[in-house]
Each structure stands twice: as structure tokens, then as C-alpha cells.
């Protein structure tokens, strides 16, 4: 049967299929399993690859060269995004941005994320990398999305008030550390009467007031003046 296939110039193999592919973008793979896949040459089938790895936070890049044929390859676990800099020296693996985004949104923070990853044996982001990605990419993106939505929410509330509707505003602040050691205060203004939507948020650093105890008051004042 194989001989017949080779003799037929019009024959082509069927398209490959993939079944039960997980919907998640990232899959955790052990180092041992990854090495077993990358070590074997896919070109000559008899050789084995010399491997060289490069780690960038949670991003892995591997280059390989077969010891039996000229085959070379480069493999990575994450695509690389465009950066805010024109230089090609800075790399921005998508997986590092995604994990930073998740840690920021869930309030885990860079330190706790580093502890969790180190404990279970996953290559962690350094604190410097985490805060750099947060400052340059994640926080501006969240802020831009919020301000776009804020205008629609405020306009809807103004229309509600003009029709005689009620507006009940509640505010609350949270700190990155307990007691008087907090460096940052995050304050939210909420529409507590209707949809519990966030109307405004402010983030202040201790240096803005000189003490942790007065940051929440400044955040409240800022929110009151800038919401409407």
C-alpha cells in the first residue's frame, strides 16, 4: 500500500488533526518533558540536538543544533510583543505581560507572585521586571480602558439625575500594607445606588502627603473634585 502511494504523483497525506486541545493559552510543562521533546532531531530522526536555553521571567527560548545533520531551530513558549522603545534590545514576551496583568488585577502583587512561583518551581519574574512591565504597559492600558468607560457611566448618571433619580456615592481606600507602613493608597468612588459601578479611582504614594495616615483623605478630596 505504501508502494502504491509513492507511485501515485497526485497523492497527498491527509491534513493533521488536533483533538481535545485545551482552551487555555498557557500550559505548564515540566522541564523533563520539554527536554524529551526538544532533544530529538525532527529532521534526520537519528541525531540528537545540542540545546541552549534563555530565560526571561516566565518566557523560555531554546536554540538547538543537531549533532548528526545541519538542522538548527529556535523554539519559544511565548510570542514577543512590540515595546514602547524603538530599540530592538528590549524584548517583551507576552507571557510576562499576561502574568503581570493577572497579578495586578487580582491584587496579588509582584512579591507574592514571586513567592508562589519560586515555591512550586516555576521561573518567576524579578521584582524589577514586574514593576517595569506594570508601569510601562499594564497600568497605562488599564487606565486608558477605565477613562473610556468612565465618560459613558458619568453621562448615564447625569441623565438619571435630570430625570429625578437618586445617586448614592460611596468611597473606600485600601493600602498595600497594614498599619502605618503603607506606601500606596488606592481609593475608589462607587455608585452604590444603581449599578455599583466605579466612578473614579485614585492611587497616591506616601510621598504625596508625607505620611500613610493622610493618604486616604487626599484620595477622597481628589476623587470629589475630579469625578464630575
Q: Which domains does the chain have, with CATH numbers?
A: 29-77 (2.20.25), 166-228 (no CATH)
Of 80, 86, 74, 88, give the one whose Cα is nearest residue 59: 80
Q: What pLDDT is recorded for position 180?
A: 67
Q: 200 has which bridge partners? A: 189
Question: Which residues are CB-contacts of 83 (< 8 A; sequence separation ≥ 6)?
Answer: 90, 91, 92
Percent of the chain with pLDDT over 90: 45
pLDDT in tens, 156-182: 888 888 888 877 888 888 887 766 667
Band (78; pLDDT cuts 50, 70, 90): very high
Average the pLDDT over 187-192 and give the result: 84
Q: How confident is the prediction for the chain on average, in pLDDT?
A: 87
Strands across the sheet containing 169-175: 169-175, 184-191, 198-205
- The pTM (predicted TM-score) of the whole model is 0.75
Amino acid at each position: 500500500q505504501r508502494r502504491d502511494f509513492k507511485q501515485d504523483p497526485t497523492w497527498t497525506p491527509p491534513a493533521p488533526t488536533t483533538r481535545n486541545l485545551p482552551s487555555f493559552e498557557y500550559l505548564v510543562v515540566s522541564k523533563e518533558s520539554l527536554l524529551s521533546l526538544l532533544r530529538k532531531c525532527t529532521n534526520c530522526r537519528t541525531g540528537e540536538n545540542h540545546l541552549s536555553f534563555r530565560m526571561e521571567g516566565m518566557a523560555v527560548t531554546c536554540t538547538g543544533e543537531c549533532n548528526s545533520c545541519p538542522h538548527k531551530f529556535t523554539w519559544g513558549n511565548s510570542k514577543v510583543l512590540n515595546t514602547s522603545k524603538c530599540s530592538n534590545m528590549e524584548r517583551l514576551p507576552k507571557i510576562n505581560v499576561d502574568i503581570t496583568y493577572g497579578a495586578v488585577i487580582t491584587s496579588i502583587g509582584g512579591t507574592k507572585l514571586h513567592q508562589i512561583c519560586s515555591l512550586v518551581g516555576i521561573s518567576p519574574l524579578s521584582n524589577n521586571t514586574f514593576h517595569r512591565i506594570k508601569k510601562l504597559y499594564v497600568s497605562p492600558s488599564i487606565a486608558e480602558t477605565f477613562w473610556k468607560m468612565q465618560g459613558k457611566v458619568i453621562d448615564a448618571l447625569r441623565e438619571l439625575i435630570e430625570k429625578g433619580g437618586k445617586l448614592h456615592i460611596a468611597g473606600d481606600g485600601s493600602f498595600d500594607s497594614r498599619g502605618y507602613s503603607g506606601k500606596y493608597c488606592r481609593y475608589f468612588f462607587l455608585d452604590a445606588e444603581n449599578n455599583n459601578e466605579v466612578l473614579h479611582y485614585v492611587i497616591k504614594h506616601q510621598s504625596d502627603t508625607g505620611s500613610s495616615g493622610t493618604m486616604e483623605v487626599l484620595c477622597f478630596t481628589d476623587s470629589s473634585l475630579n469625578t464630575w
